[in-house]
Amino acid sequence: MGAAKCDEGALSHYFHNLWENVRGGVTFWTIFGLIANFLFASRFVIQWYVSERLKRSVIPVQFWYLSIAGSVMMLIYAVYIGKVPLILGFLFPTVIYVRNLMLIRKGRREPKLGMSETEQ
């Protein structure tokens, strides 16, 4: 019985917060967070679209740019609302997204692997 009461309280709290946002609690930060979430989620739509067009699974460079934009914006939002799990959740992956772009750029500048020096 205690667990049901706890779950009911959490659910009630969730719906109360949702109602406050819908009723007029929508602020700049709410919109900022929604846009950040949209950017972050849209990377999967881009990845799916490009993969379907090429008929194979690929991760296009746009995926990494959307990942960076969305995660940096979500990081700013997380700092604003002061939620440490969200801050950590968006801080460290951003470094990986930037590193992937660095590797992509480096790969474009280097000669193709497996070619002999005379073939280059």
Domain that residue 33 falls in: 27-108
Q: Is residue 68 part of a domain?
A: yes
Does any domain span residue 20?
no
Please answer whether residues 43 and 66 qualify as being in contact, where contact means their C-beta atoms are separated by less than 8 angstroms: yes
Give the pLDDT band of residue 20 (cuts 50, 70, 90): confident
Instruction: Show the tokens assigned to 78.
Output: 């997380």
Whole-model pTM: value is 0.71
Query: Dihedral of the CA atoms 26, 32, 71, 105 (nearest 10)?
Result: 160
- Taking only the tens place, the pLDDT of each residue in 41-93 is 999 999 999 999 999 999 999 999 999 999 999 999 999 999 999 999 999 99
Per-residue burial over 5-26, b if 16 or more Cβ lie within 10 Å, else e, is: eeeeeeeeeeeeeeeeeeeeee
Residue 15 belongs to some domain of the structure: no
Coil/strand/helix, residue 120: coil
Domain presence at residue 13: no
Q: Is residue 22 part of a domain?
A: no
- What angle (nearest 5°) sits at the alpha carbon of residue 45, between those of residues 41 and 49? 165
